[in-house]
Amino acid sequence: MIVPVKFDFLKEENQYRLTTLSKFNLKKAGFEAFYNNETTPMGFGERCDLLYFDLQKEGGFLITKLFITLKDCNGKIVFQSATGRSKEKDYEAAYTECLSQAFESVEALNYKYNGAKAESNIGMKSIKEEIVEVREVVVEKVAVPVKEINSETSVKFLYAQPVANGYQLVDTTPKVVMKVFKTSSPSCFIAIKGDNQGVLIAKGADWFFQYYKNENLISEKIEVKF
């Protein structure tokens, strides 16, 4: 992963330590990360074998918003994080809080570098090919008219524990079974459960985890208490 020393919305290199924090968090999330002004070690020289990190700012009144994008060598976005938000008035505190929230989406990929190819626990062929955007685009995919397969099998009752940008759903062990991220609708969450990524949506008093498998829309009832 290549990290720029200066992001477009900032005036100086590594302002508010966002470049340093980004590289640190990428390594924490399992990536090999390098600044764009440093020479990459042997084995990382092929430009199109790399991904390119960027941090972007959204407009907002009295609130700071940042989100992460990962691009391939052609500038195509292959991943976009959930948006981190902060009401802190101090820029450094606000940017740091937003960055931390946005990185939760990156960490949810469970990415591991093995020296040859990208590996992840969300069923990707490669980090460049199969990453699904962790934003409203997932919600849009649910509306595609495809054959829907319903599954009424319920998991054990889950309890929602608040985290930044959403909840983690745990059983009585307690074990984290799912992670869900807020969208603009309180009845719809972007959701990750095991190898599957989709949405958790409310239908009346019930919640359903919907995701695609072999081009079919799977709908799984989830018993959850928020």
What is the pLDDT at residue 152? 44
Residues 6+ apart with CB under 8 A from 113: 30, 31, 32, 119
Is 155 contained in some domain? yes
* Structure token digits, residue 20: 């340093």
Half-sphere exposure of 145 (CA within 13 A, CB side): 0
Q: What is the pLDDT of residue 45?
A: 65
Range of the domain at 174: 136-225
Residue 128 lies in a domain: no
Q: Give the per-residue pLDDT at 5.
A: 95
Taking only the tens place, the pLDDT of each residue in 107-134 is: 887 776 655 544 444 333 344 443 444 4
- 103 and 149 in a single domain? The answer is no
Question: What's the distance, CA 95 to chain centroid?
Answer: 17
User: What are the average pLDDT values for consecutive 10-residue runs of the chain, which has 226 residues?
Assistant: 94 94 91 88 77 91 90 89 89 92 85 55 40 40 43 63 86 85 84 86 86 82 87
The answer to whether residue 73 sits within a structural domain is: yes
- pLDDT tens digit sequence for 62-85: 899 999 999 988 889 888 888 899
The pLDDT of residue 112: 63
Report the number of distinct structural domains present in the chain: 2
Domain stop point among 86, 119, 152: 119
**Stated pTM of the model:** 0.54
How high is the pLDDT of residue 6? 95
Q: Are 211 and 192 in contact (CB under 8 A)?
A: no
Q: What is the pLDDT of residue 113?
A: 62
Please give the sequence-ordered ranges of beta strands (E in DSSP) within the chain, or none if there are none: 2-3, 34-35, 52-58, 64-71, 77-80, 84-86, 112-113, 118-119, 148-151, 158-163, 166-170, 176-182, 188-193, 196-203, 206-213, 216-222, 224-225
Confirm whether 131 is domain-assigned: no
User: Could you say which of 62, 93, 119 is where a domain stops?
Assistant: 119
Last residue of a domain, one of 90, 119, 148: 119
Residues 153 and 197 in one domain: yes
- Do 101 and 34 share a structural domain? yes
Same domain, 173 and 107: no
Same domain assignment for residues 143 and 83: no
Asked if the structure places residue 81 within a domain, the reply is yes
Is residue 129 in some structural domain?
no
Residues 114, 144 within the same domain: no
